[in-house]
Amino acid sequence: MLLRIAVQKSGRLNEGSLQLLRECGIRLESSREQLRVQADNFPLEVFYLRNSDIPQYVEDAVADIAIIGENLLAESQKPLIVVQKLGFSRCRLSLAVPRETAYPNEIEWFNGKRLATSYPNTLSKFLKEKNIDAEIHEISGSVEIAPNIGLADGICDLVSSGNTLFMNGLKEVETILKSEACVVARHTLEPERQALLEKLLFRIRAVLAARKTKYVLLNAPDNKLDEICNILPGVKSPTIMPLAEKGWSSVHSVIAEDDFWEMIDQLKAAGAQGILIMPVEKIIM
């Protein structure tokens, strides 16, 4: 039996999804035209599908799991579950208006306005929650052009860098939801497929944990070891090995990417020398 995973055929999640599977040690033949590919070293079959079709395929049990954005999951209104957030393709679904609009920072401004979007379900749910009565114009792409051609007073669309809004003379005024890539699944899978999913998730979590950390190696005088070990957390605790030169040791540990620069400054101040920082490929806790 195979676990069937749907990924974007093209679009913002395609590269990150395939890279993640690669880092999980899964080998796929890379032919662009082939829309269904079986891994040769893991019981996994990959379907390359149009983004907007993916939730339906998972709900219909054509695929078992998928890598999609939380924004698409919300818009699809399918009863799928997020089994793992993936930390890439972060973006937000936001309301934006022409830059010259004097927006009063009050959502009520949208009452009676016309809004263009490819996310009608998410937008209408949001407007209902906020008690706003606005007109929704559903369009399938190039939403940012709508205010410029007189079709709408504002838009609701994905924002990542903000560049598309900027280039089209728009400004972001309200965030509706935050999104990142995630693995989704149906509520119940056959036990054998569930077991394969657990195996895949184990690998994914090891890759994600490693992405957030760096391996650090440094030399320190023995009388500074306590101070240095207090700075370095390590998975359990740092490894200490004596150097050939008497009175010196080598300290090995892992540190969180986010704490990286601050910690390096503290380590140097505490007397560490020859600090090496290396990427970590996988972390199994």
Please state the closest distance from residue 222 (CB atom) to ligand PRP, in A.
51
Q: With respect to ligand PRP, which residue has the nearer C-beta, 104 or 141?
A: 141
Q: With respect to ligand PRP, which residue has the nearer C-beta, 168 or 213?
A: 168
Question: Cα-atom radius of gyration of the chain, to the nearest Å?
Answer: 24
**What's the gap between Cα 15 and its chain centre?**
12
Give dist(CA 205, CA 84) in Å, integer: 8
Give the orientation angle of helix 14-23 with respect to helix 191-211, to 10 degrees.
Answer: 100
Please state the closest distance from residue 162 (CB atom) to ligand PRP, in A.
5
- Residues with Cβ within 8 Å of residue 129, at least 6 apart in sequence: none
Q: With respect to ligand PRP, which residue has the nearer C-beta, 165 or 270?
A: 165
* Paired residues of 49 in beta bridges: 8
- Near ligand PRP by CB under 6 A, which window of 55-63, 154-162, 188-196, 214-222? 154-162
In which order are the strands placed within the sheet that holds 239-242?
A: 239-242, 248-256, 213-221, 273-279
Q: Are 91 and 129 in contact (CB under 8 A)?
A: no
Please state the closest distance from residue 168 (CB atom) to ligand PRP, in A.
9
Q: With respect to ligand PRP, which residue has the nearer C-beta, 75 or 157?
A: 157
- Near ligand PRP by CB under 6 A, which window of 2-10, 152-160, 194-202, 254-262? 152-160
- Near ligand PRP by CB under 6 A, which window of 35-43, 53-61, 151-159, 209-217? 151-159
Q: With respect to ligand PRP, which residue has the nearer C-beta, 164 or 194?
A: 164
Please state the closest distance from residue 53 (CB atom) to ligand PRP, in A.
13
Write out the binding residues for ligand PRP, residues 157-196 only, by CB under 6 A: 157-164
Give dist(CA 113, CA 153) in Å, integer: 6
| Total residues at interface with ligand PRP (CB under 6 A) | 12
Side-chain-side CA neighbours of residue 60 (13 Å): 7
* Paired residues of 174 in beta bridges: 95
Give dist(CA 127, CA 114) in Å, integer: 12
Residue 105's φ and ψ, nearest 5 degrees, are 60, 30
- Near ligand PRP by CB under 6 A, which window of 58-66, 153-161, 201-209, 264-272? 153-161
CB atoms within 10 A of CB 29: 10
* Contact pick of 9, 12, 212, 282 for ligand PRP (by CB under 6 A): 12
Please state the closest distance from residue 95 (CB atom) to ligand PRP, in A.
13
| Residues making contact with ligand PRP (CB under 6 A) | 11-12, 141, 144, 157-164
